[in-house]
Chain A
Amino acid sequence: MKKRSYVGVLSAVLAASMALTGCAGNSSGGSNASGGQSQPAPGNSGGGTTEGGLIKIATQSPLSGSNSAIGDAIKTGAGYALEKRKEEFKALGFDLQLFPQDDQGDPKIGVSNAEMLISDPDVYGVVGHYNTGVAIPSSVKYDEGKLVMVSPANTGVKLTEEGKKTVHRICARDDAQGPKAALYAKTTLGVKTAYIIHDKTAYGQGLSDQVKMQFEKDGVQILGFEGITQGEKDYSAVLNQVTVKNPDIIFFGGLYPEGGILIKQAREKGFKGYFMGGDGLDSSDMIKIAGNAVEGVVFTSVAGDVTQTEEGKKWAEEYKKATNKPLETYSVYGFDSMNVILNGVLEAAKANGGKKPTREQVLDAVHKTKDFQGQFTKVTFDEKGDNTNADVFIYKFAKDKSIFVGKAE
């Protein structure tokens, strides 16, 4: 109850401030008014040179729940990027602050967090989400608040197809990932029959549909297309069918908590073929859950291996030292997403004469991002907010870690 009334008050405040500044948004000098109650940065009271102020960048990812390993990697990567640029912004009179939110992989919580974020005038951008099913409803709120969102991990096609200007992602989409995964299975692994299992979520089923379409195009026989329930632990019902049909490959559209159990139980039932999944399997926790069964599991990911280059290796070392967290493949995407937003803030502030910009200005600046070289990926947003330079990569699990195989063509 307490939380709800808090949100209620905040949204009332927001409504009032929007009403006050609705028309003044783009006129000169209107920038400050938009943040009706923005606090001036401490120690910046006398200066007439820069207006300054607090700039919060939020992250939204699952920090608790079964997806928290990746959610935390996104938050930590974004936080590391912000930490590194704090001084740079301080020199301009801005106080940077990370504002991490836990969406728990739950659409309801994602949306209520989003509501809270747009009602806080100091929040200038969101790095998130991890789950497409959470990102889509939350993006409705961001769009209302003109709050820019840059996703490090959402691959669901529908997200950017809805035409919201606030929505951006630096990773590839499922209609790139799915077909490339299917193509890899067909040409490199040489599979002829496939059984597709998905977790009935926007992400899992969406990816599976893409894979199915490509398989059908290439003449790979689909022996089954089944959904499983997230959170259940016994998948023997569907796996018994799989063992009968004995496909060359099981493709799983879903996340590692279910994927890990699936492959473990499939191997216990004597399944000998390949097991493949999308970027949802891209987590070190996959090994913990699946145990020895993880060996040989192939997955595509939209996140590449940053340690492939010397420079990247150095970055990874520094990252591990600074954050004291293991490096997940999404850490660097969290890092790059944050930098895309921070660059947008910087551009907008510059265009605004060094004063605190409006959210809309930041959104415009981020939306125009072109040829921005991040730590790992190069970012150019197209009209929809997709990154034109995004790639898909193939990985394979060994006993205790995932091994980078190469770029999927």
Chain B
Amino acid sequence: MLAPFLRENTSSQRSECRKFVQVYKGNEGWESMINILPQVLVDGLTLGFMYAVVALGYTMVYGILEIINFAHGDIFMVGAFIGTEVLLISDALGALEGMNPFVALFITLIIAMVLTGALGVGIERIAYRPLRGAPRLVPLISAIGVSFLLQDLVRFTEALARNEFYLNSPALFTGSIPLGSIATIPTKGLIVIVIAIIMMIALTLFVNKTKWGIAMRAVAQDQSTASLMTINVNKVIMLTFLIGSSLGGATGVLFAQNYGTIDPYIGFILGLKAFTAAVLGGIGNLRGAMIGGVLLGLLESLSGAFMGPLTNGAFGAEYKDVFAFSILILVLLFKPEGLFGEAVKEKV
């Protein structure tokens, strides 16, 4: 198609030719960007739901105790390791052979949730409860301490047991489902999304409909009044840590399944982003944490895929976090309580 233009040599035609090439190239760029959009959305959703479930843990603890449990990302990491170890050990024993992958995943999830739930309760008992009367900065430091402790503890035990501490999880699901011709969603990604949604619905029902859920909301509102209403505040706080941590642990298992490789430091980046998601949605607000997580995942995925083409390569995918976090800063500037948070009223 270009040939007739190229053979002529008049300057006007040459510039026309150049314009044609530019338009042609531009069209191709747009078209290809629209073509990958579904795939980008699918990837962003998978990542986003992962953030969302982890963000729930941050938001629950903050809602009740008004401290930020910075160890939560590492509880997530411990969950990933427990799940992977369960799968690796049962694989070595031959138990995975012929087992339905859903059953295997379910058992792994349960084991990881029980253990990380217990871990969360233990952390609360040892690192936070003795500091409950202290200024708010103190439990925050203690949380960061716990976070490093967990990282190095896992590193140490794995190095001792396996002589390496980045593990590769046996893959339970390998297939992928094509969504028409526009995108494919890997089965494992779909499972992440479905289980995350189930966990979020279950949590919402629990908080809204059960006696313990009402107790949790009461404690979140006012600890001392709740305790006057015969609510055992310590038990409610323990329950909060149990649920939040076991959700984090379960997400760890899903993460290991989805990405295959884990190391003791995965909790840091993911924890930070999940915390951000919680803030974005309005910390202390369950619905906000979920939506904030999904939003952040989508933002990250979209900016990673489109920033390069849109800026003509000046900003590549490596700046995706900068972009996502700039949006966060903007949101917080104009709506400091987060997208779904309510402006804090003085408790009376």
Contact = CB atoms under 8 A, between A and B. Distances in A.
A296 interface: no
Contact of B261 (A238, A245, A261, A268): A261
Question: Interface size class for chain A?
Answer: 20 to 34
A243 B318 CA distance: 17
B168 A240 contact: no
B184 interface: yes
B126 interface: no
Interface stretch (B113-121, B127-135, B159-167, B213-221): B159-167
Contacts of B168: 288-289, 291
Contacts of B165: 64
Interface string A241-283: 1011100000000000100110010001110000000000000
B320 to A, nearest CB: 6
Interface majority SS on A: helix, strand, loop or mixed?
helix
Contact of B308 (A224, A288, A289): A224
B68 interface: no
A66 interface: yes
A245 B308 CA distance: 12
24 contacts: A64-B159, A66-B166, A226-B317, A227-B318, A228-B317, A233-B259, A233-B262, A234-B43, A234-B259, A237-B43, A237-B317, A238-B316, A238-B318, A240-B36, A240-B39, A240-B40, A240-B301, A240-B304, A240-B305, A241-B317, A243-B36, A244-B33, A244-B35, A257-B261
Find the residue from A64, A257, A260, A261 having the highest chain B CB count within 10 A. Answer: A64
Given A237-B43, A237-B300, A289-B261, A244 B316 contact: no
B263 interface: yes
Nearest to B265: A231
Interface string B61-80: 00000000000000000000
A229 interface: yes
Interface in B285-321: 300-301, 303-305, 308-309, 313, 316-318, 320-321
B317 A289 contact: no
A260 B262 CA distance: 12
B40 A289 contact: no
Contacts of B313: 224-225
B186 A257 contact: no
A233 B261 contact: yes
Contacts of A261: 259-261
Contacts of B265: 231
B33 A291 contact: no
Interface of A: 64, 66, 68-69, 200, 224-229, 231-234, 236-238, 240-241, 243-245, 257, 260-261, 264, 268-270, 288-289, 291
Contacts of B33: 244
Nearest to A237: B304
Nearest to A246: B32
Given A64-B165, A226-B317, A244-B36, A260 B43 contact: no
Nearest to B318: A227
B269 interface: yes
Given A240-B39, A240-B304, A243-B39, A260 B261 contact: yes
B36 A289 contact: no
Contacts of A233: 255, 259-262, 266
Contacts of A240: 36, 39-40, 43, 301, 304-305
Contacts of B320: 237
Contacts of B305: 237, 240-241
Given A69-B164, A238-B304, A240-B305, A200 B259 contact: no
A224 to B, nearest CB: 7
B318 A268 contact: no
Given A244-B32, A268-B186, A289-B168, A236 B318 contact: no
A260 B260 CA distance: 10
Interface in B312-348: 313, 316-318, 320-321
Contacts of B309: 241
B47 interface: yes
Nearest to A198: B318
Contacts of B269: 231-232
A225 B164 CA distance: 32
A225 B32 contact: no
A58 B309 CA distance: 48
Nearest to A287: B168
B155 interface: yes
Contact of B176 (A69, A268, A288): A268
B171 interface: yes
A200 to B, nearest CB: 7
A236 B184 contact: no
Find the residue from B36, B166, B184, B321 having the highest chain A CB count within 10 A. Answer: B166
B227 to A, nearest CB: 41
Contacts of B308: 224, 226, 241
Find the residue from B186, B265, B317, B318 having the highest chain A CB count within 10 A. Answer: B317
B318 A291 contact: no
Interface string B149-177: 00000010001000011101001000010
